Amino acid sequence: MKYILASGSERRQELLHRIVDDFKVIVSDFDEEQIIFNGDIGKYVVDLALGKALNVKEKIKEDTIIISGDTVVVLDNKILGKPKNEEDAFNMLKLLSGKVHRVYSGVVVFNTSNNKLEKESLYTEVKFSDLTDEEIVSYIKTGEPLDKAGAYGIQGYGGVFVEKINGCYYNVVGMPLNLLNKMLKKVK
């Protein structure tokens, strides 16, 4: 069976290689603005991932398994997406400083040959240490936070801010491997 990852994320590609040897990447151009957030974060991230998977399905002809995901950082039921600029990144990191937040992922696995569809969400709780303004500014200068939800990457320099996590580490990186592995088995 062929596999397609509906994401250009290098982190998701790297993680997927731990489960699937060979896959093609087709980046979805799904308009995420179509999905309205109604307060249910789990449903929201699953709907985003499903939109990406269905968008990619329309671009292909062959039978395949499409894998898609979406990850958001949430503090006090407010979604922190990717920062717009350095000031936005600073403000997000300042908000996360010393607090517990949640990282939610929605994962969709769709087998186009038998139309089996699995969709799940999960979250991981992450506790940040208290951060000084100098630490935040120094981190922003690395450039790492500018393309990451919540303005940090746990697998990179941002990992130094993480005091503890409760849940799946790989979920925080961008693809919960254990959950994905179980979902792949269900669609075959």
d(CA 161, CA 166): 15
- List the catalytic residue out of 29, 63, 70, 88: 70
Relative to beta strand 100-111, strand 116-128 is: antiparallel
Relative to beta strand 3-5, strand 65-75 is: parallel
How much is the CA Rg of the chain, to the nearest whole Å? 17
d(CA 115, CA 118): 10
DSSP string for 16-48: HTTT-SS-EE------GGGSPP-S-HHHHHHHH
Residue 147 annotated among the catalytic residues of the structure: no
Question: Among all residues, which ones are annotated catalytic?
Answer: 70
